[in-house]
Amino acid sequence: MELTTVWFVLIAVLWIGYFTLEGFDFGVGMLLPVLARDDRERRVMINTIGPVWDGNEVWLLVAGGATFAAFPEWYATLFSGFYLPLLLILLALIVRGVAFEYRAKGHGEEWKDRWDLAIIIGSFLPSLLWGVAFANILRGVPIDAHKEYVGGFFNLLNPYALVGGLTTLLLFLTHGAIYISLKTDGPIRERARDLAVRVGIGAATVAVIFLVWTQTMTGNVGSAVCFVLAALALGGGLGAILRGREGWAFTGTFAAIGLAVAGLFWALFPDVMPTSLAHGLSLTPTNASATAYTLKVMTVVAVIFTPVVLLYQGWTYWIFRKRIAVHHIPVSTAPAAVAPLPGR
């Protein structure tokens, strides 16, 4: 197998890791106003992803960096053509990260409510726009013979792409609700379990429409197998949550998202960014790649450091594997009064 194909597969794996992991903490962020009844319950929900959300985003950073290094033409065309949606995603992720850190710095309800809103919006926008972006890559965008994007922003807002955005949004909501039911106890767990079933039915319906549409438009045997397995995994996950088996349910949605993303990349290959123009030039792993020496160096680095990252992130999830509930959260986080000095 050529190194260009190897790195296409590795980048697909990085995106699978990103969507399966970041997907559930996007879902948790969006569900803050739905599942939490007061500040302590919101803190419980945030604490379920507190130790892991920034580690999950590492997958995105590595995927972007690997694309830049291995396929510079793909990176350049993608970021120039999708500049506005990718900028919105970047700003949302920045604001969301700041909100997690700053929420506990103030003590007024208004302060917390504003940062909670930032978490909600910062989780919603990427959940929607990532689906829109990937659907457009699969559908094909206007790329001319010079490998330059010649369309506009509104070219990206087509029915297929919007269905793709709705698919990722609903899948992440389902994934997040199941994660909350897995990681919490008490009333939040019960609400999350009930909501996961209701949202999951909608997610399954929209996902089937999107995947069938994709398969009809640009699919192949490999993508069809992945899509069927993804549908079975999602159905199994919803069946497990109905029986109260949160661990198996989370495994089901995790596998469903991973298999669906794998199928999308399989449907995309042998292109990395197809053109919709009759006289345009589609980008492929060959004509968009860096030099062979660059790919060799990247391969050596990946072989050395990828196991380290996987071990560290696996260790983090293991350490913070237990459930949390409202009784683990102090009633007040206000600083204690300072005792007067002797003689005063």
Q: How many CB atoms lie within 10 A of CB 83?
A: 12
The pLDDT tens digits of the residues spanning 99-129 come to 998 888 877 888 889 999 999 999 999 999 9
> Which residue ranges make up each domain of the chain?
7-297
Mean pLDDT of the chain: 90
Tokens coding 327: 């009784």
**pLDDT-derived band of residue 1, with 50, 70 and 90 as boundaries?**
low
Summarize the confidence of residues 15-30 as an average pLDDT.
95
- Distance between CA atoms of residues 97 and 119, nearest Å: 8
Per the rule left: phi > 0, alpha: psi between -120 and 50, beta: everything else, 2 is beta
165 CB-near residues (< 8 Å, 6+ apart)? 128, 129, 130, 131, 132, 135
Tell me the CA distances in angstroms from 310 to 259, 315, 322, one per residue in order. 19, 8, 20
Contact 143, 283 (CB under 8 A): yes
- Distance between CA atoms of residues 162 and 136, nearest Å: 9
The pLDDT tens digits of the residues spanning 229-276 come to 999 999 999 999 999 899 999 999 999 999 999 999 999 999 999 998
Closest CA to 181 of 241, 136, 116: 241
- Distance between CA atoms of residues 164 and 157, nearest Å: 11
Tell me the CA distances in angstroms from 73 to 79, 245, 262, one per residue in order. 10, 46, 22
Sign of CA dihedral 260, 266, 267, 269: positive
- Kindly report whether the global pTM for this prediction surpasses the value 0.85: yes
pLDDT of residue 89: 95
The pLDDT tens digits of the residues spanning 126-150 come to 999 999 999 999 998 889 888 888 8
CA 32, 37, 39: angle at the middle one, nearest 5?
75
7-297 domain in CATH 1.20.1630.10? Answer: yes
- Distance between CA atoms of residues 116 and 101, nearest Å: 11
